[in-house]
Amino acid sequence: MSEDKLKLVILGEGRVGKTSLLLRYFKNKFNENEKSTINPSFYEKTENYNGKTYELKFWDTAGQEKYNALNAIYFQNAIGALLVYDVNIPETFEKVKDWANTLKEIVGKNVIFVIVGNKLDLLDKSLLDKNTSLVNEYIKKENCKIFYTSCKTGYNVEEAFDTLIKSVLKYVQDNNIVTNKRAGKKLEIRQQVQPVEKKGCC
């Protein structure tokens, strides 16, 4: 069976839990002493949506996105993203906004993203009101969704990933997006246009 291949990325400051989120979602594992990812890697998932099969590749950029010159390489042809911050470190949320803008510049304004506020199990309650206010203002402006998660307990991890996946697949089908078969390298995403029959000039 032919499968369309779609590229998604997970972005965020170092130590916000990007790799831990992937491990919890794809392998249902958690390692409290997980080391920072050194090299980019990806996780694959096959998903059926409305009778069509898609192969999804989630790229963990291993913090390489901090090198601006590499953004075009790692973000190229991504159709969706999880933007992750640490709920205990407000500054990491500011970076999420920067990456959202960079994604739009590189892959287009229609890129779909879900924001993840991670490490909920470690939340400093004194930061809750301030963080919530800032975050709610932003997601209202961007019309995007947010999930507060804990890799340690697994809370809301599956919901965050599944929401992004379903949003991406719905967008692909609603807009007749067609893809080539090289999501691991270069993925062309274009809108399928019906051919127009040519008529004589007179």
Domain map (residue ranges) of the chain: 4-191
**pTM for this predicted structure:** 0.82
pLDDT score recorded for residue 30: 93
pLDDT score recorded for residue 195: 39
> If you average pLDDT over each of 2-6, 125-129, 165-169, 188-192, which comes out highest?
165-169
Average pLDDT, the chain: 82
> If you average pLDDT over residues 125-139, what whole number do you get?
79
How is domain 4-191 classified at the CATH fold level? Answer: Rossmann fold (3.40.50)
User: How far apart, in whole angstroms, are the C-alpha atoms of residue 52 and residue 197?
Assistant: 29
User: How far apart, in whole angstroms, are the C-alpha atoms of residue 20 and residue 116?
Assistant: 13
pLDDT-wise least confident of 3-7, 61-65, 143-147: 61-65
List the Cα angle 58/59/63 in 5-degree steps: 140
